[in-house]
């Protein structure tokens, strides 16, 4: 079994700094080759992915160029995306828990009845439903080891660890069987949400306020790296694990997705043309703070990992 904290494959991509200047880097083990002599940014690599991938293989085994020890660098947001597309309610156990809880509290069902009904609903959704996708803001992103700054408004600040994919090939109306050919790389995102800011009591007819609840600065820790898709193996068989102050809160396989990655890509591309550099989040499994009745507080530490993609460690702070 590979170490889940170590990026899969011979190399990965990221953005780093040593001092004031940021630079794109090629990560091989504990070393990073500065790519700024070859390209301006990781985004530029992704935008010409098919041409760059063989070059990256060559550079990863070359002694030329400037190399740094990874431990001496600050790890930044790995790249600047185009669109951020986010899939909601996409893990079966998670949604079954939510639906069953509502059927018990609102409709008076027994726990057994509520769960059986919820599971039937999910089975039907898998057969005939479609994904739920919304847009996020790149301004919400922060690095994998940056502090999470809690906004002044709201109290129920929650975690949602997700597998994210980076598009490397343009497409519209992409067929499911072709979808994975459009994926350049994978990374980790923690899509934080302020639960008590999710619904607008002054606009009940409109309902949810995704902008306010999910797009505060630092509410999308991303990275540490972009791991090429060819090194990740089956993206529908990765382990997602999140620890809150050392306690495991989320621990699930991506097998539990309601709509797998090909279905998500096919669905999204019926509405918008996907372009290299777009980031697609695939949803979060069961175990959010709302499930446990525990929310983020200043001083908390959130540690996140997905098999083969590395790990994040973020300390929660009050916004000054």
Higher-confidence residue: 89 or 244? 244
- Find tokens 């494959």 and name the residue: 9
Residue 216 has pLDDT above 70, yes or no: yes
24-28, 206-210, 275-279: segment of lowest average pLDDT: 206-210
The band of 99, judged by pLDDT with boundaries at 50, 70 and 90, is low
Q: Write down the architecture of domain 84-89+132-318 according to CATH.
A: Alpha-Beta Complex (3.90)
One DSSP character per residue, 213-247 reads: HH-STT-EEB-S-BEEHHHH--TTS-EEEEEETTE
pLDDT in tens, 106-126: 567 777 777 777 788 777 888
Predicted TM-score (pTM) of this structure: 0.93
Give the pLDDT band of residue 297 (cuts 50, 70, 90): very high
Is the pLDDT score of 2 beyond 50? Answer: no
Q: Where are the domains of the chain?
A: 12-75, 84-89+132-318, 91-130
* Burial of residue 163 (number of CB atoms within 10 Å: 0-12, 13-18, 19+): buried
Under the banding of pLDDT at 50, 70 and 90, the label for residue 206 is confident
Share of the chain above pLDDT 90, in %: 79
Dump pLDDT digits (tens) for 242-280.
999 999 999 999 999 999 999 999 999 999 999 999 999
Residues 6+ apart with CB under 8 A from 242: 159, 161, 190, 248, 249, 250, 251, 287, 302, 303, 304, 305
Q: Residues 118-161: pLDDT tens digits?
A: 788 777 888 888 999 999 999 999 999 999 999 999 999 999 99
3 pLDDT above the threshold of 60? no
């Amino acid at each position: 079994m590979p170490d889940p904290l170590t990026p899969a494959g011979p190399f990965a991509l990221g953005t780093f700094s040593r001092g004031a200047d940021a630079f794109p880097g090629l990560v091989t083990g504990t070393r990073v080759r500065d790519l700024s002599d070859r390209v301006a940014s990781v985004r530029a690599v992704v935008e010409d992915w098919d041409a760059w991938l063989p070059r990256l293989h060559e550079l990863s085994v070359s002694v030329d160029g400037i190399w740094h020890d990874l431990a001496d660098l600050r790890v930044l947001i790995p790249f600047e995306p185009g669109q951020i597309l986010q899939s909601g309610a996409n893990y079966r156990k998670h949604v079954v828990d939510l639906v069953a809880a509502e059927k018990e509290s609102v409709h008076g069902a027994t726990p057994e009845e509520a769960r059986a009904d919820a599971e039937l609903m999910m089975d039907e959704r898998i057969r005939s439903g479609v994904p739920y996708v919304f847009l996020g803001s790149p301004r919400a992103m922060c690095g994998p080891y940056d502090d999470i700054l809690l906004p002044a408004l709201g109290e129920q600040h929650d975690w949602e660890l997700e597998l994210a994919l980076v598009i490397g090939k343009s497409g519209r109306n992409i067929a499911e069987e072709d979808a994975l050919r459009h994926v350049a790389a994978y990374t980790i995102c923690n899509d934080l949400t302020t639960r008590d800011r999710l619904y607008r009591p002054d606009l009940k007819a409109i309902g949810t306020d995704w902008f306010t609840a999910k797009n505060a600065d630092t509410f999308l820790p991303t990275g540490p790296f972009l791991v090429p898709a060819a090194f990740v193996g089956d993206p529908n068989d990765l382990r997602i694990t999140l620890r809150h102050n050392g306690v495991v809160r989320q621990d699930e396989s991506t097998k539990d997705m309601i709509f797998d990655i090909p279905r998500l890509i096919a669905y999204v591309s019926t509405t918008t043309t996907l372009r290299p550099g777009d980031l697609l989040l695939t949803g979060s499994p069961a175990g959010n703070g709302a499930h446990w009745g525990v929310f983020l507080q200043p001083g908390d530490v959130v540690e996140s990992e997905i098999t083969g993609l590395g790990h994040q460690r973020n300390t929660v702070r009050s916004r000054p």
